[in-house]
Amino acid sequence: MTQAPPPPAPLPGYREALAWLFARQRGGAPRDPARMAALVEALGLRPPPNVVHVVGTNGKGTVTTMIDAGLRAWGRRSGRFVSPHVEDFRERVTIEGRAVSRETVRRFVARARRLELDPPPAFFEWTLALALSAFAHADLDWAVLEAGVGGAHDATRALDPVRLVALTNVSLDHVDTLGPDLASIARDKAGAFRRGVPAVTAARGAALQVVRAEAARIGAPLHVDDGRDRLFEVDVEGMSGTRAANGRLAAGALRLLGAPETAVRAALRAAPLPGRGEGFRLRDAEVVLDGAHDPAAAAALAASLPEGYVLVFGALGRKQGEATLAALEPHARAVVLTDAAAGEPPPSAAARHAYHPDPVTALEHALRLRTPGAPVVVAGSLYLAGRLRPTLRRRARRTAGSGRADEAAVR
């Protein structure tokens, strides 16, 4: 007698599915691509036949988004995976430019939580597996994947075939896991390179020396955006700072893949990710929302802004809060500190600046301090960006709908 197949797993609600995903933790286990490889095998997954792998310290999400937009403009069916999200979990996975559906998340979790794996995968690995599952169901040709932390030991390193690797830049970040110095961090990120697979980078200085050596060691053709290589040339009118640098790298990547110039131009027009250089018009004020959370990103953001902005700043305790604030503070007319996340007070600089634990109250204070024509800038953490973005979107909609200065309270 043939045994009946097991009944299908009941679908969890969307909130329940997210709660299950967020509860998956590494528990101190080391980062290891083998755990992702085992998960992919257990789920019977495989990535699309063409993968672009994006690693680096800053700008990974923007470069990933631009390359994905360029591929789609080229007529390729592409999916995108980025992290972290700012406001909506589904920001992490898009299929042909559209966020994955809630039902897709629910169906994946219904299947996933029936698995028993040892060692158990963590949140990032499960979320990457969700993306691969959605890409497979949509029968995509391409996927553009943003690494989580580093390159050599990141979950994304388990996936092939890779057609191109983009390494944005290298600066001090995640020193607790990638290594104590710039050379160690550069070596880990360059661990994403594959033999014979072209790579592009905007790394500089000592980090670039390490990256070049690693590329030569494994035989990865490396193209460096040093300002002279025409591979990276773009019309940067209307683009500045990190946006322009990211655009150059995405353009070089697309050209190496064979994309036409129409696709390159479409990539440069890609809308910014939430919390990465977003602009919101409130009343007669402009608010710039950027999750710059390390000194390199903060310095690039400051260079792209006019002097005299009012800064709303919050940083997680495990990040380089003081050094990040130090890159933004000299160019600001005033600084208002807040908590990046509940229970995450700002750096010790609170003694010399106004401080409001509630980000919305901090934003209200900053709007009162600004001078005409100067923006309010929110920076220091993508967690902070996620806390303020719903308020900013509501206010921007009200301002646009009223057709006049909106004098309502921020709330």
Examine the domain organization and report whether 163 and 220 are in the same domain. Answer: yes
Mean confidence (pLDDT) of the chain: 90
Examine the domain organization and report whether 263 and 287 are in the same domain. Answer: no
Give the domain CATH number at 71. 3.40.1190.10
Examine the domain organization and report whether 314 and 264 are in the same domain. Answer: no
Per-residue pLDDT at 272 exceeds 50: yes
Q: Identify the pLDDT of residue 408.
A: 35
256 within a domain of the structure (yes/no): yes
407 within a domain of the structure (yes/no): no
1 within a domain of the structure (yes/no): no
Domain end call among 247, 268, 289: 268
Q: Identify the pLDDT of residue 182.
A: 84
Residue-wise pLDDT for 284-305, tens only, equals 899 999 988 888 889 889 988 8
Examine the domain organization and report whether 218 and 337 are in the same domain. Answer: no
Examine the domain organization and report whether 170 and 305 are in the same domain. Answer: no
What percentage of the chain carries pLDDT values higher than 70?
A: 90
Examine the domain organization and report whether 238 and 294 are in the same domain. Answer: no
Per-residue pLDDT at 1 exceeds 60: no
Highest mean pLDDT, choosing among 132-146, 266-280, 282-296, 344-358: 132-146
Per-residue pLDDT at 368 exceeds 60: yes
Q: Identify the pLDDT of residue 407.
A: 36
Which whole number is the average pLDDT over 351-361?
90
7 within a domain of the structure (yes/no): no
Q: Identify the pLDDT of residue 173.
A: 66
Span of 99-113, 143-157, 164-178, 227-241 with lowest mean pLDDT:
164-178
Examine the domain organization and report whether 336 and 284 are in the same domain. Answer: yes
Which whole number is the average pLDDT over 110-130?
95
Per-residue pLDDT at 240 exceeds 90: no
Q: For residue 308, what pLDDT band results from cuts at 50, 70 and 90?
A: very high
Q: For residue 349, what pLDDT band results from cuts at 50, 70 and 90?
A: low
Which whole number is the average pLDDT over 249-274?
96
300 within a domain of the structure (yes/no): yes
Q: Identify the pLDDT of residue 295.
A: 87
Q: For residue 86, what pLDDT band results from cuts at 50, 70 and 90?
A: very high
- Domain hosting 306: range is 276-402
Highest mean pLDDT, choosing among 102-111, 182-191, 236-245, 373-382: 102-111
Residue-wise pLDDT for 154-182, tens only, equals 999 999 999 999 999 987 665 555 556 88
Q: Identify the pLDDT of residue 195.
A: 97
As a three-state string, the secondary structure of the chain is CCCCCCCCCCCCCHHHHHHHHHCCCCCCCCCCHHHHHHHHHHHCCCCCCEEEEEECCCCHHHHHHHHHHHHHHCCCCEEEECCCCCCCHHHHEEECCEECCHHHHHHHHHHHCCCCCCCCCCHHHHHHHHHHHHHHHCCCCEEEEECCCCCCCCHHHHCCCEEEEEECCCCCCCHHHHCCCHHHHHHHHHCCCCCCCCEEECCCHHHHHHHHHHHHHHCCCEEECCCCCHHHCCCCCCCCHHHHHHHHHHHHHHHHHCCCHHHHHHHHCCCCCCCEEEEEEECCEEEEEECCCCHHHHHHHHHCCCCCEEEEECCCCCCCHHHHHHHHHHHEEEEEECCCCCCCCCCHHHHHCEECCCHHHHHHHHHHHCCCCCCEEEECCHHHHHHHHHHHHHHHHHHHHHCCCCCCCCC
Q: Identify the pLDDT of residue 342.
A: 84
Span of 177-181, 216-220, 353-357 with lowest mean pLDDT:
177-181
Examine the domain organization and report whether 61 and 175 are in the same domain. Answer: yes
What percentage of the chain carries pLDDT values higher than 90?
A: 70
Q: Identify the pLDDT of residue 178.
A: 59
Count of residues making up the chain? 411
Q: Identify the pLDDT of residue 180.
A: 60
Total domains in the chain come to: 2
This prediction's pTM: 0.90
340 within a domain of the structure (yes/no): yes
Q: Which residue has the higher pLDDT, 238 or 227?
A: 227
Which whole number is the average pLDDT over 316-329?
84
Residue type present at position 190? A
Domain end call among 268, 300, 317: 268
Domain end call among 268, 291, 326: 268
Per-residue pLDDT at 196 exceeds 80: yes
Q: Which residue has the higher pLDDT, 75 or 295?
A: 75
Which whole number is the average pLDDT over 49-68?
95
Q: For residue 319, what pLDDT band results from cuts at 50, 70 and 90?
A: low
Contacts for 2 with CB less than 8 Å, ≥ 6 apart: none
Q: Identify the pLDDT of residue 348.
A: 65
Examine the domain organization and report whether 310 and 390 are in the same domain. Answer: yes
Task: Using the Cα atoms of residue 223, residue 32, residue 276 and residue 384 in order, give the sign of their dihedral.
Answer: negative
Q: For residue 401, what pLDDT band results from cuts at 50, 70 and 90?
A: confident
Examine the domain organization and report whether 66 and 82 are in the same domain. Answer: yes
156 within a domain of the structure (yes/no): yes
Q: Identify the pLDDT of residue 2.
A: 56
Examine the domain organization and report whether 305 and 385 are in the same domain. Answer: yes
Examine the domain organization and report whether 356 and 247 are in the same domain. Answer: no
Which whole number is the average pLDDT over 102-116?
96
Per-residue pLDDT at 210 exceeds 80: yes
Return the number of other C-beta atoms located less than 10 Å from residue 15's C-beta. 10
5 within a domain of the structure (yes/no): no
